[in-house]
Structure 1
Amino acid sequence: MTGKIVILTGAGISAESGLGTFRDAGGLWTQYPPEDVATPEGFHRNPDLVHEFYNARRANAAAAQPNPAHHALARLERDHPGEVVILTQNVDALHERAGSHNVLHMHGTLAGALCSACGARWDAPETMRTADPCPACGAPATRPDVVWFGEVPYFMDAIWDHLATADLFAAIGTSGEVYPAAAFVQEAARVGAHTIEINLAPSATVSDFAETCFGPASETVPQWVAAELARHG
């Protein structure tokens, strides 16, 4: 059996590329309260602040480069004889830039723009402004196409289907504090998948995993991928 590998990635996998995490000391939520920049209510109160925050993140992500962890997962997708699916909480494009193709961005992407009036989507410019008109309806209701607190993540039907058919589930660089992603390990284990957490430090759901590996993602992920490919080689 070749096996289907489903991988959840969080901010920790991009940290070594220079992109900030959220809940660690010095993380983004210690600098910007999430209720101000990552909720529909915050956007309604102060859209200029929200655009300023995401314009900066978009610029940082564009300047960042994939690290060895991203490249290792692209290698896994390329060389593993079974299916490899990445479910990412990250809004950067580092997985794709490293060569991964089978990626579901459950929290949207910095590269996307969304009209909060009509729901139209288009490629985001480098800098977005509150007064930018929607190209579809003309309303000045442009927002980043990212999922904020209180909103439903994208692709959830497909994600649950992937978890239900996984032979191996790996969570990489995620805190285990945000649902529904925090429940993915339980769903995968329920259908008999082997589960592994690969993280800098134990997450809030570490006890739900059958196997753990701790250390910098740029070291641990390539080692894990090499072991998986050797096992099936």
Structure 2
Amino acid sequence: MAAARDTTGETDIRRKLDEYVDAHLTRHMYDTDESWPLRKTIRLPKQAELEQHYNQIRAQNETIRDWARQHHCETSEKTKIVSSGLIQQKSPLIDSVTIPDLDTALRIATKQTRERYLREHDRMSALAKEFGLEPANAMNVAKTLKDHDDTDFHLVIQAAHYFANHDCHTMTPRMAPILGFSAKWLGAPNSQRRKAICQLTGQDNLTF
């Protein structure tokens, strides 16, 4: 009976490629000018390492190729010469993988990262349209509210519209005719919700 195939190395390679894309989206989640494609460099083995572990390296190379094919990513190759006694052979090895666009990257990323990325960019678009903001400014507000759920996000928008046209210096928080708005919800003078409202209204502070 043939020995069972050890797929531990293949799984590890696939995981690392997935994690690379996921980490890139996380690092650049609040960028508004990110460009694609994204090129991932693959480290090629030194000559001695290649000749000593040739079969293992070839298997790893095919795993990378399969991963790229599965996700519709392009690869580039560099040909290495492998010597075995008097015999030399050419061995093309992948030296880069290119993720072509955002949609591809989002399909590769984890569900959590994909949903978070889409939510933040949807919020940015909504804020830019509703308040006439430049995308970068709208994204700054979205980032300020990154730890707040959709209920809080929409309440901040309502409050910003109201306080853009009403002077809160003559009011107490409970006087604002906004369902769900209160001093407790608004938080301390340096709270994220208060900061976001100020960003949207162009005010330096929100003092009642």
Higher helix share: 2
Q: Which protein has greater RCO, CA pairs closer than 8 Å, 6+ apart? A: 1
Name whichever structure is richer in strand by fraction. Answer: 1
TM over 0.5: no
What is the TM-score when the length of structure 1 is the normalising length? 0.25
